[in-house]
Every structure is written in C-alpha cells, then in structure tokens.
Amino acid sequence: MEKKKRASFGSKLGFLAAAVGSAVGLGNIWRFPYELGQNGGFAFLIVYLLCAFLIGWPLMLSEFAVGRMGQSNVSSSFANIIGNKRWNWIGIMGAVCVLLVIGFYAVVCGWSLEYIYQAITNQFSGQSPQELSDSFSSFTTGTWRPILWLILFLVINCAIVVGGVQEGIERTSKVLMPFLFTIIVVLCIRSISLPGGLEGLKFLFSPDFSKITPSVVLSAMGQAFFSLSLGMGCMLTYGSYMRKENHLGKTAFEVVGMDSLISILCAMTIFPAVFALGIDPSKGPELVFITLPNVFNQMPGGYFWGILFFILLAIAALTSTISMLEVITAYVSEEWKLNRKATAIGTTVLIALLAIGCSLSMGVWNEYTVLGMNLFDLFDNFTAKILMPIGGIAISIFFGWIVDRKSREAELTNEGVLKLKYLKFYTFLLKYIVPLAILAVFADQLI
C-alpha cells in the first residue's frame, strides 16, 4: 500500500489559531480568575507569567519539535526519532492522561451549554445570590440535565474532529478564535467602564509579594501546564502537523503570549465587575457560574452580556476539547490502523461514559470516593498533580538529553535556515530548569 502523506495544517495562521484554541479554554476563563482571586492577585500573576515563559515556553517548543521531527502521533513520534520504542510510554501515558482530563472537562463544557440556555431564556433575572447558588448546585448534582448537555457537546466536538485536521480543526479554529478574542475584548471594556470597576483593576494590579508562598508557586505552575495544554502530548500532536518551514520557537512564544494575554483579559473582565457590585472576589470554582450571573443581574444590559459571556466560555472549551480528542484519535487510528472517523466516534463514546461518571459523581454517586475525592476531583487531581508533571519531565529529558544535540538543533533551526539567538538559553532552560522546577513542585506535592 502506498504510504499516505501525513495531514498538515494549511497555513501558519491556521496552525496558530488551532494551537491557541487548544491553550485557551476553561483554564483561562473559569480557572485562572479564581486561582488569581484566591492566591493574592498580582503576586500570583507575576509568578504565573514566570512559569509560563520560563517553563511553559521551552516545553511547548520541545513538544512542537518532537512532533514535527517524529512525524507521528503522541507515542510513535518518540520511536521515529531515536529508532527504538523505549520512550513510547510517554505518549501512551499522555493519551491516557488526555482521556481522563477530557472526562471531567466535558462535564464543565456541558454546564456552559446549560448556562447559555439559561441566559437566553432569561432565567437569572430576579434570582437572589442565594437562589443562584442553589440553582447551580441543584443543576450540577442533578442526573439527566448535565448528562444531556455534555453528550451534545461531545457530539459537536466529534463532528469537528471527524472533519480532519485542515477541514475540521483548522477551519473551525480560524472562525472561532477571532470571534472569541473580540467577545473577550468587548466584555473587558464593558466591565472596566462600570462605575467602581477600577477598584477591581486595583485589586488585580497591586502587588503584595508577602502572598507568594510555596503553595502559590505550585498552583501557578499547575495552572501554566493546564492552560498551555502541556505535558500530555497535545502540542506534540499538533506539532506533528506543522510544516517544515514553520518557525517553531516563534510560534510557541506566540501561543504562550496569546494564552497569557487572554487569561489576563479574563481576569480584567471578571474582577472589575465583581468589585463594582461589591461581591467577594475570592470565590472558588463557582465564580463563573454563580457570581457572574449575579453580576449580570445587576448590570445594565446584563441579559445580553450574560449570553455573550457563556457563548465565549463554550467556544473556548470547544477548541480545547477538539485538541484533546485529536490526540487520542491520531494515536488509536495510527497505532491500530483503524479508520479515523470510526476511531473518533468510538473514542467519543468512551469519553462520554467517563464524563457521565464524573457528572454523576457530583450527585447521586457522591458517596463513592477514592482518597476522599469523588471521580471528578480524582481525575482532576491525578492528571494535574501526577501525570502532567511526569509527562513534562519526561519530554524535557527526552528532547534535552536523549536526542543528540545536532538533530535537536537541526530541528529547531529548520536545518540551519534560522539563526536563533536564544538557542543557548533555551537549551539551558530545557536541560536544567524545566525538569528541576517540575521535580521540585512535584516532590513538594507528594509531601
């Protein structure tokens, strides 16, 4: 049989849209603002940016490079580079990790659809903060509603991935990402211009470095990994569809920059509104689903802004779940020589089962716990605190130490075409700083 040419992204911009789409997700809109609120505002932001650029960037660049060099999925890429299968376990672990992440992630994606529906049918209006909170918990602990929404979400997700890399993923990202960016800028301006909104900006940008503790550093690094889709081969898989002439280092820098910018814009949207209305900023995961509907209720034109916000949330989530499904679909269909469409559908069914389990674990199944956690929290903690750090360390050791210097530099410089001023700095970060920093955080967590 003739060897089929591997799919690739059609253009640089298309690739950028897809990679930023993978990075920008619930991590930026839902998780970043509450982590920031709980961990002291500006100090957290600074630590976060350091993690994103000094650990996230070299790691993302390495994932891109391993993917493009190996020209295969999350597992075989390693074997294609060094000629033996000794490192393929990283990819298998990555695929399993992605499966668990999307299992709990899809539940929150489903919530975003429910909240679009509630916003359109004007259900927030007239509810007191207590009622909003009660209706959120009765919805999330319910049985059928969250399941139906998450299935709908996964079906849309599957349809896009079935379309293929260029026709499905790239095309969707190119339409949705500019739209997402526009919505977030508009919402941000609206929020800051609320009377009293500037107080929120003051909270965000007043440094209180006494707040920086080891646990804050830990949260910031975990957040950087999650937000940049690192440590489980997502960026590796996308990298394998990159063209030989693309500038990997620059692209990775752009993705890290855009992702951080969007996280900051989200925080600059949420906090001014929260402060303008005198609501406690240090709320946890319910910040987006309880606090914000309350904000929309009190805001002129809140009906419209509420719809826009939850559409933003769903779009951001979708471009991330696409990248997760692609990792598994590429892996299974290439390794087991299965049809891509059938694989995507089969994987979606499996994901739906896991996600249904996670959803029920918040309600009727909440008495079943492991280590005191329900399934949702277990998947979240196990992937973020164990699998992703191991994956990150493994990729940095592989590309920094196992791959020889000449091949590494040839890949990074496009066979010597690019002159990279940062090559030494990058190599230093990759070989020493990245694995040691992750190891430190990892060890700290285990203790």
Which residues lie near ligand TRP (CB under 6 A)?
22-23, 25-28, 98, 101, 226-227, 229, 232, 234, 320, 323-324
Closest CB 447 distance from ligand TRP, rounded Å: 24
Which one, 227 or 294, has the nearer CB to ligand TRP?
227
Q: How far is CA 422 from CA 29, 151, 215, 256, 274, in A?
A: 31, 45, 31, 16, 41
Cβ 320 to ligand TRP, closest distance in Å?
Answer: 4
Pick the closer one to ligand TRP by CB: 177 or 194: 177
- 194 versus 262: smaller Cβ distance to ligand TRP: 262
C-beta closer to ligand TRP: residue 140 or 260:
260
H or E segment at 444? helix 434-446
Cβ proximity to ligand TRP, 26 vs 393, nearer residue: 26
Give the nearer residue to ligand TRP in terms of CB position, either 162 or 325.
325
| Residue 96 vs 423, nearer CB to ligand TRP | 96
What is the closest distance, in whole angstroms, from the C-beta atom of residue 198 to ligand TRP in the complex?
A: 28
DSSP, collapsed to helix, strand or coil, labels residue 230 as: coil
User: First vs last Cα of the chain: how many Å apart?
Assistant: 53
Min dist. Cβ of residue 206 to ligand TRP (A): 26
CB 107 within 8 A of CB 376: yes
Query: 334 vs 92, 232, 328, 348, CA distance in Å?
Result: 13, 18, 10, 17
Comparison of 101 and 312: residue with beta carbon closer to ligand TRP: 101
Beta strands in 174-214 (DSSP E): none
Compare residues 226 and 310 and give the one whose CB is closer to ligand TRP.
Answer: 226
β-bridge mates for residue 370, sequence order:
373
- Whole-number minimum distance, CB 26 to ligand TRP, in Å? 4
CA-CA distances (angstroms) from residue 308 to 107, 117, 284? 20, 11, 22
* 370 phi and psi angles, rounded to 5 deg: -120, 130
Smallest gap from Cβ 131 to ligand TRP, in A, equals 29
DSSP 373: B
- Rounded distance, CA 114 to CA 151, Å? 12
Nearest distance from C-beta of residue 375 to ligand TRP, angstroms: 18
Closest to 23 measured CA to CA, from 380, 262, 283, 200? 262
Report helix angle 88-120 to 144-162, nearest 10: 120
CB of 191 to ligand TRP, least distance (A): 21
What is the identity of the amino acid at 268? M
Q: What's the min distance (Å) between Cβ of 244 and ligand TRP?
A: 25
46-52, long-range: CB < 8 A, 24+ apart: 46/207, 47/212, 47/216, 47/217, 47/220, 48/220, 48/223, 48/224, 48/260, 48/263, 49/260, 50/220, 51/217, 51/220, 51/221, 51/223, 51/224, 52/224, 52/227, 52/228, 52/256, 52/259, 52/260
